[in-house]
Structure 1
Amino acid sequence: MTRDSDFKQVVRARMAGTGESYTAARASLEQEAYDAARAEQERLVGRLFTDGRIAHVPARRKVRAAVLLEVLARFEPGREYAEREVNEVLLGVHEDFAYLRRELVNYRYLERQDGRYRTAAHAPARSPIERQEIPAWEGHWLEGFLSGP
């Protein structure tokens, strides 16, 4: 059952307008939110990637986070990587692999311990300020990606 009362009100408003059941209205709204988040992600990164590479790392945090999510998809969830392996993956994206590696750790997408890296076990908890700078796609995609196939 949904705990967010604001979202429940939106679901109930949709139910009243469409005649759908609660479950159907909620699923439709969640799909619309997913589609909107994916469209925003594609808008943010679509023009930056050419043949899987980026010419420059964006300065704007929201766009940079969107790029990092695209880069993160190149890693296998749960697998442990040596720093050299991480660098090889990141060199396929941009020549400043050290900066990308540091940003992936800073955004808590990768975890580092004793020179070994792995994707985070769970999506990071974000403060309200951080949530303003993170694309909506993170909330829809990241947890499922990190949990693996």
Structure 2
Amino acid sequence: MTGTKSTIRIASVQFPLGKIERFEELETQIESYFKAAKESGADLLLFPEYFSLQLVGLIEERKDEAKIFREVAQHSPRVLNLFEHHAKSYGLYAVAGSLPVNENNQLFNDSYLFTPDQIRLQQGKLNATSYERDLLGMSCRDKLNLIDT
């Protein structure tokens, strides 16, 4: 957040985890938070870790948790594009909590920062919990990305 502004206003989302039946429901929820943040004068909108887990409701077949997370990860590109679009259209910075990401058949838990000028910055989780590592088969990133604001 370069420029002459010395303070920023942060809007933090307490995201309700519920079952959704269509991706469009998640789209509507996310946009409503962008709209509320903009109306309140926020500069940065902050979502919680794993906010996208509502997408589990789109998975029809019951599977083990590792497979469910991999299927949720298939929706991550669409969620990321949505954040990029709203950050630009509402003129806000946004941290998209974290999302499961499948990269070269490895599952990661990554967080993203979006800017109003459509820059997308990624930071992967460096230390997985035992649940993520042992039950979900999640891998850790090995690099801390410093983001100059």
- Under a length normalisation based on structure 1, what TM-score does the superposition of the two structures give? 0.26
Of Structure 1 and Structure 2, which has the larger fraction of its residues in helix?
1
Structure of higher RCO (CA pairs closer than 8 Å, 6+ residues apart) = 1
Q: Work out which of the two has the higher radius of gyration on C-alpha atoms and give 1 or 2.
A: 1
Of Structure 1 and Structure 2, which has the larger fraction of its residues in strand?
2
